[in-house]
C-alpha cells in the first residue's frame, strides 16, 4: 500500500486491507507510534479481529519491517538519486514485490535461528 505519508487514517486503511486478504488469525507486530496506538486504530483492529502485538520501545533490531527496509535502502536507495519521489517510491515498491516469500522472510530476519519470536505464537 503506497501512500504519501503515514497517519492514523492510512494505518486504518491498512488494517482494512489486511482484513480483506486474510481470513485467519492475524497478529500485527508494531512499534508504539501514535498512529498505531490511537484509540480509533485500536478499536478498528479489535473489530476486525486483528491482534496488535507491541514491540519494546527503542528496539528497532526486533522490528522485522525495519530489517527489511534496511535491505531495501541498501539495494534501492543507497548512492542513487531518483528524478522524483514518485519514481523512488515505485522502485521501492517494485523491489518489495519482486522478492519471493522466502527472500522476504530472510531479509526481515524471520528465518534466523535467533529470531526473537521463535517458539511463540508463530509457527
76: helix, coil or strand?
helix
pLDDT at position 122, please?
47
Residue 116 backbone dihedrals phi, psi, to 5 degrees: -65, -20
pTM across the whole model: 0.69
Distances (CA, A) of 86 to 72, 77, 92: 16, 13, 10
Residues 93 and 107 in one domain: yes
pLDDT by residue, tens only, the chain of 123 residues: 778 788 999 999 999 999 999 988 899 989 888 999 999 999 999 999 999 989 887 777 788 888 898 999 999 999 889 999 899 999 999 999 999 999 998 888 888 888 877 766 544
Q: What is the pLDDT of residue 2?
A: 77
Separation of alpha carbons 78 and 101, rounded Å: 23
- Identify whether residues 33 and 48 lie together within a single domain: yes
Please tell me whether residues 54 and 97 are part of one structural domain. Answer: no
Cell numbers placing 69: 527496509
Q: Are residues 33 and 76 in the same domain?
A: no
The boundaries of the domain holding residue 86 are 59-115
Looking at residue 123, its pLDDT comes to: 47
Asked if residue 8 belongs to a domain, the reply is yes
- Can you give the CATH number for the domain in which 2 is found? 3.30.420.10
Question: Does residue 123 sit within a domain?
Answer: no
Amino acid at each position: 500500500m503506497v501512500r504519501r505519508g503515514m497517519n492514523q487514517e492510512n494505518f486504518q486503511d491498512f488494517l482494512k486491507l489486511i482484513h480483506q486478504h486474510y481470513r485467519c488469525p492475524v497478529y500485527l507486530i508494531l512499534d508504539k507510534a501514535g498512529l498505531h496506538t490511537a484509540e480509533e486504530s485500536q478499536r478498528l483492529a479489535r473489530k476486525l479481529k486483528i491482534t496488535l502485538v507491541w514491540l519494546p520501545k527503542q528496539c528497532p533490531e526486533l522490528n522485522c519491517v525495519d530489517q527489511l527496509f534496511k535491505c531495501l535502502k541498501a539495494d534501492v536507495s543507497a548512492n542513487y538519486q531518483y528524478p522524483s519521489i514518485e519514481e523512488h517510491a515505485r522502485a521501492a515498491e517494485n523491489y518489495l514485490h519482486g522478492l519471493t516469500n522466502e527472500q522476504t522472510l530472510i531479509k526481515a530476519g524471520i528465518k534466523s535461528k535467533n529470531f526473537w519470536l521463535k517458539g511463540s505464537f508463530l509457527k
